[in-house]
Amino acid sequence: MGQTLNTDLCIIGAGSGGLSVAAGAVQMGADVVLIEKAKMGGDCLNYGCVPSKSIIAAGHTADVMRRSSRFGIKCVEPTVDFSAVRDHVRSVIAAIEPHDSVERFESLGVKVLQDAAVFTGPREVKAGDTVVRAKRFVIATGSSAAVPPIRGIDDVPYLTNETVFELDERPEHLIVIGGGPIGSELAQAHRRLGAEVTLLEMFRVLGKDDPEVTELARRRLAEDGVVIREGIKILSVAAEGKEISVEIETGGQKETITGSHLLVAAGRRANVDGLALETAGVTYSPRGIEVDARLRTSNKRIFAIGDVAGGLQFTHVAGYHAGIVIRNALFRLPAKASHDFVPWVTFTDPEIAHVGLTETQAKERFGDEVKVLRWSFEENDRAQAERETEGLIKVVVGKRGKILGASIGGPRAGELLQPWVLALSQGLKIGAMANAIAPYPTLSEVGKRAAGSYYTEALFGERTRKIVRFLLRFG
C-alpha cells in the first residue's frame, strides 16, 4: 500500500545543494521530505570533487618522490599499487559519507525516500509508492558527464568521472577527450601515477581561464609527460582488440591514436530526464531548468538549484543557491542570486584559481582605465624555500582602485584566492589589500605585494622625491 505525505518542503536530489537545503530547513522548523534515487552525497562525494582530489593527492605524492633531489634528498621512482590508490579514494569517500548519510538526515528530522521522483502535477511528486504533496519543491538533481556525438562512441567501452575511480589496474595508456578542468586534472594525476596519457582538446586546454595564468599548468602537464593535442577534431573512435583507437584531424591531416582506456571529460549535462517536468509546468532545455534571479522555475512553487539550473557548475554554487532558496521558501524574502563573484579552482599542479573579470573581459568592458597588477611567486621567500616558484598572480583593477578580478596560478592558488573573493564581494578597493598585514614568510604575501605595486609609480616617482626632499629641509 502506498502512502501520501503532506510536507512544507520537498527536495529532489541529495547532492551538495539538496542536502544543504534539507539540513537548513529542517533545523529552522520546516517539515522536509528528501528524495534521492541513487547515492546520498550526489556527484561531488561519489564521483566528483572528493574522489578526484583524492587521486590528485596520490599523484602529487608520487611526483614529490620523483623530484625530491631539489631538497638534497635522493629521488626515487615510486612503486604505485593502483588498487591501493583506488582503496585510498574509497576510504576518503567513506570518511565523509556519514555526514551525508540517510541516518544523519533522518536524525535531524528529514524524511528520506530512496527512489526516483516523478512529478504527477504542479504540486505533487511520486517516489515509488509514496506520493508527496508539498508547499514548495526544490529540484537539485545535478548534472552528469556529457558524451559528445562522436562516430563509434557507443560501440567502445569508455570511462567518465562516474567510472574512472573504480579502476583497480593502472591504465597503460589513457586517452582523455576534453581539456577542461576535469580532463586536465585527471590526465595529470594518472600520468603521475605511471600511466601514459594523451589529452585531446578541440580548442585550448583550460581555455576558460586567463591564458597567461593557465600556461603555467599547461607547461607542467607537458613536463610531466602528458601528450597535449590542441586544436584537433575527433573524427571517430573504434575498438581495436583490447585497445581503443581515436581518429583525429589537425590542419587537414588525419591521425590515429591508440590507447588502452578512453576517458570522456567533454562537459556536463543537466539531470532533467525522467522528472516529468512538463507535468509540473516547469520549463527546461538540455542545458538545464530555466530559473529567475530568485531561482524559481516557471512554476513559482518549484525552485531549481546547482548544476540542474544550467549555470556555473560548482559545488560551492549549489551551496550558495541553498541559502537563497531557504530565504525565499521559508522566510518569503525576495532574495536573489548573484553570480558576479563566484570563484573557481582547477586542481592541476600548479593550481589555477580565479574570481571576477579576466584581463580580457575587463578591458573589453572598461577599456584603458584598466590596470593589471602582476607578481611572480619567484619573488616570494616561502615559495623559494619550498622550491615552488612557478607561479603568478594577476589582479585586474579599474577606476579609483576598484578591484575587478584576480587570477592565480601556483601552489595552493585555491587557498590564496579567498581574500580576493572577499574583496570583490564587499566592494573593497586595492588599498585595503595593500594595507593588510600578511604574515611572513607565507605565500599570501604574493597577493599583498601585487596590491602594493598599484602604488609603486606614485610612491617612488619624481613628485614624491621632491616632496620628501622639501620636507627634509626642516630637519
Give me the pLDDT at residue 1, please: 62
What's the mean pLDDT when you consider all of the chain? Answer: 96
Res 475 pLDDT > 80: no
Whole-angstrom distance, CA of residue 112 vs CA of residue 40: 10
Task: List, as own/partner pairs, every contact residues 278-286 make where C-beta atoms lie below 8 angstroms and the sequence separation is at least 24, other chains included.
Answer: 279/119, 279/120, 279/121, 279/122, 280/119, 280/121, 280/122, 280/137, 281/122, 282/119, 282/139, 285/310
Residue 91, SS3?
Answer: helix
pTM for the model stands at 0.94
Whole-angstrom distance, CA of residue 351 vs CA of residue 412: 6
Res 198 pLDDT > 90: yes
In this predicted model, what pLDDT tens digit does every residue of 428-440 receive, in sequence order? 999 999 999 999 9
Q: What angle do CA 127, 132, 135 make, to 5 degrees?
A: 140
The answer to whether 200 and 150 are in contact (CB under 8 A) is: no
Report the side by side order of strands in the sheet with 351-356: 344-346, 351-356, 403-410, 392-397, 371-376
Whole-angstrom distance, CA of residue 312 vs CA of residue 342: 8
Give the position of cell 578597493. Answer: 429
Residue 375, SS3?
Answer: strand
Give me the pLDDT at residue 469, please: 86
Give me the pLDDT at residue 464, please: 85
Whole-angstrom distance, CA of residue 451 vs CA of residue 470: 28
